[in-house]
Amino acid sequence: MSELFELTAHAAHALLAEKQISASELLAAVYARIDAVESDVQSYVLQMRDAASAQAACIDEKLASGAPLGPLEGIPLALKDILCTAGVRTTCCSRILENFIPPYDATVVTRLREAGVILVGKTNMDEFAMGSSTENSAFGPSHNPWDLSRVPGGSSGGSASAVGADEALLGIGTDTGGSIRQPAAYCGVVGLKPTYGRVSRYGLIAFGSSLDQIGPITKDVHDAALLMNAIAGPDPRDSTCYPEPATDCTAKLGREVRGLRIGVPKEFFAQEGMSVDPAITALVHAALRLLESQGAIVEECSLPNVRFSLPTYYIIAPAEASSNLARYDGVEFGYRASGTKDIVSMMTETRDAGFGAEVKRRIMLGSYVLSSGYYDAYYLKASQVRTLIKQDYERAFERYDVLISPTAPSVAFPLGAKADDPIQMYLNDICTIPINMAGIPALSLPCGYDQGLPVGMQIMSAHWNEPTLLQVAYAYEQAAGWTRKAVREAGRVTVAG
């Protein structure tokens, strides 16, 4: 049998339900794994050992009583440090929130607690979710568990590296322009960005309010579906949340893909300023041939306005960020500069010392495009182009059940390689940003290896159609044999133990 920390959530649930293991044993195995590798991987900024152990003991009492367990009850989870947790420090990995302790739980955290998930700790991230490598964290970078000299991706790099290094069985990330899917691809795990509005954003510390979404980072597709079931659904505290009950995301797992139509947008493989590594292109096309051999119909298609996604995103997202981050001024909460002569200098020095370079860059850019005389030329125009991108997807999904592309144009790059070149860093998200612009769901899952590092394939579907997305992902995963054990054995994992 695998080490307990290597298990998927659904495999661990089966052992718990059969009383072959206890919740306390499972949690202890995960913390032992953290003790063994965390100094190398650096996934966590805070651990919640006392609360987690107390919760595991309560679940063991429930098991002993003969009561049934929910599908995720007793499963250890790594939570991105951007979701408010009552009484637990929540920093967004920024000095300006270094000592912030929220008085309430985010809706997603509440739902995880109701599902009996055990929160192991809060994970590292790019400050305020602004970045593609987790190098922008005020507390230092996380490392890729496949090669510790490389980035785990971002901004949810801490959650992805925790799941990839088996420091948790499940993870939660957030995705504004690819921040679940890109690190999932780099760390050899599954990452799902839901439809915008499928999961409540209440209690999520905002970066770009029209783009942010919360979603699962897991060891396989089945676990992603289970975790989606736990966190999705209406929430009256979030006006952007879809008011109807969420569809069961496990409903189509195991169904064949025969007759499903798969579109392959050519713009995701080559466009101006970007080319996908040929080895990644070859692996994605091999995956498409495998799906075709199962009866799926695969065709090339075009999304002509996708080529405008990156510049459009870097107008809209910074504009929303500049508005959202205006509240961090040293007056009501968070860090405050001391020894200042007046309120203006206090606010200025607070923000100068409290924010990192990337956050400042985006605030300045966002403030500029929203300023008088530039709003129409930049923000309004970008909003109009965003509509064209969304319409491209709507037309595509009239013909295709899903679309498939690479998740990222390259494998994980070395730490520091792009830290001084923001444009090259931004280009890492060129395959993922269009999905956030359209608000549709998308999932990344492993489809092979290049240079001994994982490669991710991205599957997209129409709004609210997560079950079909997961159906195709699961069919590919099972046909390709990318079980968790196979993923570990096929690649080179630096921290395998």
Q: 491 or 76, which is more confident?
A: 76
Res 492 pLDDT > 60:
no
CA–CA separation, 21 vs 15, rounded Å? 6
Return the pLDDT at 78: 99
179 given a catalytic annotation: yes
Length of the chain: 497
Question: Which residue out of 22, 132, 159, 179 is catalytically annotated?
Answer: 179
Res 127 pLDDT > 70:
yes
Question: pTM of the prediction?
Answer: 0.97
Q: Looking at 43-47, 57-61, 273-277, 325-329, which range is the least confident one?
A: 273-277
What average pLDDT is seen over the chain?
A: 95
Bridge partners (DSSP) of residue 403 are 263, 460
Return the pLDDT at 486: 67
155 given a catalytic annotation: yes
Res 249 pLDDT > 70:
yes
CA 175 to chain centre: 5
Return the pLDDT at 468: 98
Question: Which residue out of 155, 156, 309, 461 is catalytically annotated?
Answer: 155
> In 334-463, at which residue ranges do the beta strands (DSSP E only) sit?
402-406, 442-450, 453-461
Return the pLDDT at 375: 92
80 given a catalytic annotation: yes
Res 274 pLDDT > 70:
no
In percent, the amount of the chain with pLDDT more than 90 equals 91
* Domains of the chain (ranges, CATH numbers): 4-257+479-490 (3.90.1300.10)
CA 455 to chain centre: 16
Q: pLDDT tier at 483 (50, 70, 90 boundaries)?
A: low
Return the pLDDT at 333: 82
* Average pLDDT score over residue span 248-260: 98
CA–CA separation, 38 vs 44, rounded Å? 8
Q: pLDDT tier at 275 (50, 70, 90 boundaries)?
A: confident
CA–CA separation, 91 vs 312, rounded Å? 28
Q: pLDDT tier at 107 (50, 70, 90 boundaries)?
A: very high
Decide: 313 and 433 in contact? Cβ < 8 Å: yes
For residue range 44-95, what is the model confidence (pLDDT) as tens digits?
999 999 999 999 999 999 999 999 999 999 999 999 999 999 999 999 999 9
Decide: 59 and 119 in contact? Cβ < 8 Å: no
Question: Which residue out of 22, 80, 219, 252 is catalytically annotated?
Answer: 80
Return the pLDDT at 273: 61
What tokens appear for 241 in the block? Answer: 């949340």
